[in-house]
Amino acid sequence: MGLTFHKLPFRSFLFFALLALFSSCSVLNFTSVKNYPANKAFVYENKIDLTGNISKDEKKRLSEELVNYWDDSLKVPKIQQFGIFYKIKNPPVFDSANINRSVSLMNAYLNSQGYYYATFADSIRIDTVKDQIRAKVSMAIEAGKNIKIDSVSFQLGDTTLQKLTKEVEASTLLKKGEPFTKSLISAELDRLVSVYRQNGYYRFTRDDIYAEADTTDPRLLQLTLDPFKQAQIIADAAKDRRENPTWDFTIFKRPTTDSARLKQYYIGQMYYYPETKMTDIPDSLLKRTDFLDTTRRGITMRYKKGLFNYRPLREHTYLRRGSLYNENNYFKTINTLGQIGAWQQVDGRPEIRGGDSLDIYFFLVPAIKQNFTVDLEGSRNTADIGLGNLWGISTNFAYNNKNVWKSAIQSLTTLRTGVELSLLTSNQSRLLQTFLINVGHTYAFPKLIVPFKNWRALNRLDNKKTLFSVNGSYVDRRDFYQLRSLVTSWGYEWKKGNNMWLYKPLNIELYAIDTLDGLRKLFVDNPFLRTSFNSGRVISQSLSLIRNFKNASNPDKSHYMRIGIEEAGGIFGLISSLRDEVYRYIKVEAEYRASLKMRKTELAYRAFAGVGYNYGNDSTRDKTLPFFKQFSAGGPYSMRAWGLRQLGLGSSRRSEADTTSNSYRDRFGDLQFEANIEYRFPLTSIAGVKIGSALFADIGNVWNIKTNSLDPDAKFSLKNLGRDLAIGVGTGLRIDFSYFLIRLDLAYKVKDPARQYNNGWMDKFQWSENRANGLKVNNYALQLGIGLPF
């Protein structure tokens, strides 16, 4: 028996929309009060209503910040529980005298943001519920006009400082017409101090510079004997101050008697202590004389055991002897050495020597050289058709050496073995479905090993690495295929700002596949699959970019972008002897994630698109990508209402044609689109373990991009996109142990392209349904995963 819904597609979302609405209902309707003062007015609610001629984003920002400036005695100690319930515990007794203190605090904050003409109006409402006397305080604020910057000038009183400032004046943060805030002035002063300290002014600090605002209207300084004209000038100035207030700003250097503050310093000798212990005191190390010394090019390495070579220190030093002290390069040297991995902590100390020389001392604490880890992973999905009810178990062994050949080279050796087990009770279903084993080894050299040298552009890159890796694997998909592979690559990784780049100029992959009886039977029914399951070689190059950043105007919103492109066979496929041996294709992927953190909740969303095109001429592999390069959807991290690799292709039902429980149903395609949205909220906390939940929706599918006459519904077509898109919604539990998170998601198929009625939309709620061929299919999936899905 099912619960019938209206057949219009959008009505299918009604139930889930109500769930989301319920979670965002009026807070007060689900608020309880504990330990309140009986028969005395207490603070039950505070509210701010901000108005004024300000933008929507600015209003939202100011409103969120003003909440923090209520006087402590007017703040409501409210705790959220189970996502929709709130509890007020020990509310303060209401005293109207505290409102004036709140006005003072809020006005001071608005002044810091450039609003000097705000007006405040408070109101108080008293509600009585049994013995609770609830005081609801509202504050109506008219922000007024924001002060704008009219002009900026610099008077440093020093010829060199004035010249440096003039050179970077175009980069000033104080632009004519921009809104004034104290934080903006502070940022401009920090910028100037940074410029000076990058040009040798080691002792120049923020205390040596300040900004002064001139609020006087120049018209008021005009002398006139006509009282009517003077009155008009005053009236005009007052009107402009109300409608378009502007200030002039001047940056000054404070007078000082210490001439060293205005002296430019040059790099002298640099000393490295690469074997420093965590308990060592730098002053004691500087006095010791029992070190062995190695000095080259102005760099001295002091050591006892000889655990490190001199070269990685020199290659990651961005200061040069005899050059002006540059604070950015000083910290870049410290950060880069700390990111290599050979040292767990790096500190520095500049010391003035003589008149204008600056010796630099670096103290490096070695990381544990070798470590061995073992990880156990598990996953489950119960969205079965055939083999959908699977447990996945894998064990990962890893050995890491952080200082190979004493050169700070990282080496990682991994062994991974795992199985997929079928939990079906059918006699036709084997318990062990998949067995895999993988062995890999990677070297990470802490520099870019390139044939050309002295390319200055490389010095502007951060966290540079050269990567060499070798991986071998064996996968046994019982009754269907056995896959052996050997993959080796040479690549470069570097970072520039928020961008992380990875370029592999050479990637060689060798694959050998043995097709077993189960797969050979599938080839008879679907010859199109044969082009995907072929032995072959991949000789490719790839480039990927990952970018992480936060909104400048809203630091609570973070973004992640990934773009990758891989090209195979473009060069080696032109060699006649290799033409029939290598795959020739191009593959592009793009992913975007965003997260908006609110006070206690989070809204996260993701979009992914990928496509691959096989442009080879070999008749045995000219239709699609090899299956180990194709896309798939479904499982704990993708389209959670479907089992692992169980969605697609398009609206094809061909994989459901065989109703036997042990049939092969994995689905791979050349094109994938997916979008996800998730609203995360806390439920409770038990013994320090945070328990949260989420409401989510997934939409997407996988397609082929070339026509298969035996399965035309598997091909991507814009006109069929609405029909082919799958939609799943659900909720779940998140158990956060801080060091790892266990996730249990229950998802439901709102729209399944494989449904043969109502264009795939659900028209009545039912946990399972029977296809036309009698195959029983679940409309839900229970997914167990580790960590967040995105």
The structural domains of the chain, with segments of one domain joined by +, span 35-142, 148-260, 265-366, 370-786
What type of residue sits at position 547? R
- Indicate the class that CATH gives domain 35-142: alpha beta
- pLDDT value at position 665? 66
List the structure tokens of 369. 């050289």
- pLDDT value at position 685? 87
Q: Are 785 and 694 in contact (CB under 8 A)?
A: no
CA angle at 601 for the pair 597 and 604, rounded to the nearest 5°: 55
CB atoms within 10 A of CB 528: 19
Residue that has been written with the tokens 């084997």 in this structure:
430
Cα R_g (the chain), whole angstroms: 34
Q: Are 505 and 541 in contact (CB under 8 A)?
A: yes
- pLDDT value at position 14? 46
How many residues are recorded in the chain? 790
List the structure tokens of 14. 């009604």
Q: Are 415 and 436 in contact (CB under 8 A)?
A: no
Provide the 8-state DSSP code for 317: -
* Three-class secondary structure of residue 440 per DSSP: strand
600, β-bridge pairs: none
C-alpha span between 423 and 720 (Å, rounded): 36
Q: Are 249 and 151 in contact (CB under 8 A)?
A: yes
- pLDDT value at position 122? 93
* Three-class secondary structure of residue 228 per DSSP: helix
Give, in order, the Cα–Cα distances in Å from 755 to each of 80, 388, 635, 750, 777.
Answer: 41, 17, 19, 11, 10
Residue spans of the chain under pLDDT 50: 1-28, 220-221, 383-388, 425-427, 659, 661-662
Is the fold of 35-142 the same as that of 265-366? yes
Give, in order, the Cα–Cα distances in Å from 258 to each of 209, 255, 353.
Answer: 14, 9, 17
- pLDDT value at position 227? 65
- pLDDT value at position 64? 87
C-alpha span between 759 and 36 (Å, rounded): 56
Residue that has been written with the tokens 């509310």 in this structure:
91
Provide the 8-state DSSP code for 45: E
* Three-class secondary structure of residue 23 per DSSP: helix
- Of 541, 562, 593, 449, nearest in space to 499 by CA: 562
* CATH T-level assignment (fold) for domain 148-260: Ubiquitin-like (UB roll) (3.10.20)
Helical segments of 505-587, H only: 517-525
pLDDT digits (tens, 9 = 90+) for 25-67: 444 456 788 888 888 899 999 999 999 888 888 888 899 899 9
C-alpha span between 198 and 332 (Å, rounded): 12
* CATH T-level assignment (fold) for domain 265-366: Ubiquitin-like (UB roll) (3.10.20)
pLDDT digits (tens, 9 = 90+) for 413-467: 999 998 877 755 444 556 777 889 999 999 999 999 988 766 777 778 888 999 9
* CATH T-level assignment (fold) for domain 370-786: Porin (2.40.160)
Q: Which helix (H) or strand (E) holds 360?
A: strand 357-366
* Three-class secondary structure of residue 757 per DSSP: coil
Q: Are 446 and 464 in contact (CB under 8 A)?
A: yes
- Entry pTM: 0.78
Strands (E), 580-670: 585-597, 602-614
Give, in order, the Cα–Cα distances in Å from 696 to each of 20, 723, 790.
Answer: 10, 21, 12
Give, in order, the Cα–Cα distances in Å from 319 to each of 251, 344, 346.
Answer: 30, 21, 16
C-alpha span between 717 and 450 (Å, rounded): 44
Give, in order, the Cα–Cα distances in Å from 545 to each of 490, 491, 561, 691.
Answer: 17, 13, 8, 34
* Three-class secondary structure of residue 108 per DSSP: helix
User: Which pairs with CB-CB distance under 8 Å and at least 24 residues apart come from 167-173?
Assistant: 168/192, 168/195
